[in-house]
Each structure stands twice: as structure tokens, then as C-alpha cells.
């Protein structure tokens, strides 16, 4: 085997994930150990000088051993970077300092065009939280990973409590990061002593406590299910919402991805059957639609919306 073929074979074996041992290679190819060492040095130099290495690095797990490691790299196109930056800025989820740190790697090394396209949004960005979120989110993650409880102070609707909870997930929607402590059907009403969902920016004086008993799967939070059931982050029990909608169907289908479109109706409407929940988020969305929607069932949701509309009308009498 000539030297070029030998080096190519060694490189292919490295690409295949093998850990090559210098002494073993020398015996296999009937060459001196120094020859193998030169082969490896040539492969290493070629990787370091190539623009096509895609994060590949030659490392030594132990003395006399060689292995290729794939670094985690992200190669977004200009369009993808623009999309990510705009989504991040539109979220208003962090302080300006934290948001700048999030988008800076996407801007690094890019053309002036990307900076110009996002300049106005970046300069005028106003984040929802006033204080940094990352340290609090890090503590919540630690509690989840180590199965520990958190004690924290929480204030909402003129209530102030010191609470102890076992975090089960983190959820982002509509400006806010939430710490979840129960499943997506948990209590989500006014009494914060019963609450299972907490805006992380409103949590103060967080303290990690001891380990908790393993929680049941019945308390496991599933964010994907919640996101498909409601356009706003409110928990609730599953329902099938039946409505007539008198505007563009996309207003329903975009908010409720599993909605089933029914027959067209006289007057330009359409009937929809929607897997949703009975939480405040769905009710709020229905109220926002005004005269564009007629609720057929369930009766409890229909009655709630009618009552809210009557009370709103009373404000104008």
C-alpha cells in the first residue's frame, strides 16, 4: 500500500468513528511508528487548513491514540439568520442586554445587509422583563434536573405568597416564560395558593430545597399539547369546541392547528370543530372575535362568552 492510499484509509477509518492506535496501525501496515505519526500530522494539518472540515477536530483520547470529533456547529443562511433574529426580537421575552447577547452570534461575521435589515427592531427593542431572566431560568432548570423543590415569593392580583413547588417544565408563550408544576390541565384561576403555572419574571427570592419524591406521570406537563389547544397560555380541561366562523378560515386554522373545517354556511361562514381546552385563553380568543364567531358548544363556554358580552355592553349604557 502506497503512502497516499494508506493515509486515505486512515482518514476514512477516522471518519467512521474508529479510535486509531499508533502502534497497531504500524503493525497493520508494516511501517515504522514514526511513519504513522507523520500520516496523522498530515491529516491534522489538512483538517486545520481546510474550509470544508465542518467542525471536525483530531483529538487524542489517550497517548498514542487518535479520534475525530465533530464539533457542534450551526451554519445558518442569511435568510435563516434574519428569520431567527426577527422571531427573537418579536418575542420581547428578555431584557435588552440578554436579547443582544442572544442575537449577537447570529450577526457576527455577517454582511452589513443583515445588520441594516434588523437595525430598527434592534435599536427600538423594549423587553418585557425589567430584570435579567437567565439566572432564574437556570435555577428552575437545575431544580428540574435534580428533582428538587423551589421556594419563592409570588405576587399577582393583589395577592402575595411564599410558595414551594416542584418544577416540571418551562414554557414560553405570549411574552412570558413560565415555570410549570403540574400538567396542562392543572388549576389556572385566581387563587395563587392553588396555582401550578408561574411567570418566571414575577418569581422572586428563589431558593433551592431538597429532593422531591418522584412525581407521577399524571402531573407531567406537555407543552406541545397545550400549544395546540389554546392560542394563549392558559391551562384547562380538553373540550371539543364547535363554532361557526364568519371570516377567513385561516384565523381559526392558524390558531388551532388541529381544527377540522366543516361545511360552508349561508352568509359566508364556515363551521369548525376544534380540539381545545376550557381555559381562559380560549374564552379570551372567542371574545376577541366579536360578531365573527357563534359558539355552538360546549354550553359552558357559550354561556360564559354571552355573560361577558352582556357585562361589557353594560359599561356603555
User: What is the domain extent for residue 46?
Assistant: 3-70
Does residue 61 sit in the same domain as residue 82? no
Q: Is the pLDDT at 69 greater than 80, yes or no?
A: yes
Does residue 213 sit in the same domain as residue 289? no
Whole-angstrom CA distances from 39 to 1, 44, 54, 227, 267 are 13, 9, 21, 54, 78
Q: What pLDDT does residue 113 have?
A: 86
| CB distance 234 to 280 below 8 Å | yes
Q: Which of 219, 244, 269 is the last residue of a domain?
A: 219
Number of domains present in the structure of the chain: 4
| CB distance 8 to 1 below 8 Å | no
pLDDT class of 54 with cuts at 50, 70, 90: low
Asked, for residue 41, whether it belongs to a domain, the answer is: yes
Dist. CA 235–CA 221, nearest whole Å: 10
Does residue 27 sit in the same domain as residue 97? no
Residue 192, domain CATH: 2.30.30
Does residue 231 sit in the same domain as residue 310? yes
Dist. CA 228–CA 71, nearest whole Å: 35
Does residue 232 sit in the same domain as residue 310? yes
Q: What pLDDT does residue 251 have?
A: 96
Q: Which of 54, 70, 86 is the last residue of a domain?
A: 70
Q: Is the pLDDT at 95 greater than 60, yes or no?
A: yes
Does residue 8 sit in the same domain as residue 84? no
Asked, for residue 140, whether it belongs to a domain, the answer is: yes
Asked, for residue 159, whether it belongs to a domain, the answer is: yes
Asked, for residue 129, whether it belongs to a domain, the answer is: no
pLDDT class of 75 with cuts at 50, 70, 90: confident
51 against 190, higher pLDDT = 190
Q: Any alpha helices (H) in the chain, and if so which ranges?
A: 3-15, 22-29, 33-49, 78-91, 96-107, 112-117, 119-123, 134-145, 223-229, 250-253, 280-289, 299-314
Does residue 233 sit in the same domain as residue 293? yes
Question: CB-based contacts of 61: which residues, under 8 Å, 6+ apart?
Answer: 19, 67
Does residue 243 sit in the same domain as residue 304? yes
Lowest mean pLDDT among 16-20, 70-74, 96-100, 156-160: 70-74
Q: Is the pLDDT at 240 greater than 60, yes or no?
A: yes
Closest by CA position to 66, among listed 39, 46, 48 = 39
Residue 85: asked if its preceding bond is cis (omega within 30°), the reply is no
Asked, for residue 7, whether it belongs to a domain, the answer is: yes
Mean pLDDT taken over the chain: 91
Does residue 263 sit in the same domain as residue 192? no
Does residue 23 sit in the same domain as residue 46? yes
- Write the DSSP string, 212-266: -PPPPGGG---HHHHHHH-SSS----EEEEEEEE-S-THHHHTT-TT-EEEEE-T
Asked, for residue 280, whether it belongs to a domain, the answer is: yes
Does residue 230 sit in the same domain as residue 284? yes
Mean pLDDT of 141-157: 94
Asked, for residue 22, whether it belongs to a domain, the answer is: yes
Asked, for residue 128, whether it belongs to a domain, the answer is: no
Q: What pLDDT does residue 217 have?
A: 60
Q: What pLDDT does residue 220 have?
A: 82
Amino acid at each position: 500500500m502506497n503512502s497516499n492510499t494508506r493515509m486515505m484509509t486512515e482518514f476514512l477509518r477516522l471518519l467512521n468513528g474508529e479510535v486509531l492506535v499508533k502502534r497497531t496501525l504500524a503493525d497493520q501496515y508494516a511501517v515504522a511508528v514514526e511513519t504513522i505519526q507523520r500520516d496523522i500530522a498530515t491529516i491534522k494539518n489538512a483538517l486545520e487548513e481546510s474550509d470544508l472540515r465542518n467542525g471536525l477536530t483530531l483529538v487524542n483520547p489517550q497517548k498514542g491514540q487518535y479520534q475525530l470529533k465533530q464539533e457542534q456547529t450551526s451554519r445558518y443562511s442569511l435568510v435563516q439568520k434574519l428569520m431567527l433574529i426577527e422571531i427573537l426580537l418579536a418575542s420581547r421575552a428578555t431584557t435588552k442586554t440578554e436579547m443582544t447577547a442572544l442575537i449577537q452570534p447570529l450577526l457576527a461575521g455577517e454582511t452589513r445587509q443583515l445588520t441594516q435589515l434588523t437595525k430598527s427592531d434592534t435599536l427600538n427593542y423594549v423587553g418585557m422583563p425589567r430584570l435579567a431572566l437567565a439566572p432564574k431560568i437556570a435555577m428552575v432548570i437545575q431544580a428540574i434536573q435534580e428533582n428538587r423543590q423551589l421556594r419563592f415569593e409570588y405576587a399577582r392580583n393583589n395577592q402575595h405568597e411564599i410558595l414551594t413547588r416542584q418544577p416540571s417544565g418551562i414554557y414560553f408563550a405570549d411574552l412570558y416564560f413560565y415555570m410549570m408544576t403540574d400538567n396542562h390541565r392543572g388549576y389556572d384561576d385566581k387563587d395563587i395558593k392553588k396555582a401550578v403555572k408561574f411567570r418566571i419574571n414575577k418569581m422572586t427570592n428563589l431558593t433551592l430545597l431538597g429532593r422531591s419524591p418522584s412525581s407521577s406521570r399524571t402531573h407531567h406537563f406537555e407543552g406541545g399539547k397545550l400549544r395546540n389547544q389554546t392560542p394563549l397560555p392558559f391551562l384547562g380541561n380538553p373540550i371539543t369546541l364547535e363554532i361557526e366562523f364568519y371570516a377567513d378560515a385561516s384565523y381559526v386554522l392558524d390558531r388551532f392547528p388541529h381544527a377540522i373545517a366543516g361545511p360552508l354556511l349561508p352568509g359566508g361562514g364556515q363551521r369548525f370543530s376544534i380540539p381545545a381546552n376550557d381555559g381562559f385563553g380560549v374564552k379570551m380568543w372567542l371574545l376577541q372575535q366579536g360578531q365573527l364567531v357563534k359558539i355552538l358548544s360546549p354550553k359552558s363556554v357559550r354561556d360564559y362568552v354571552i355573560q361577558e358580552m352582556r357585562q361589557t355592553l353594560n359599561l356603555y349604557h
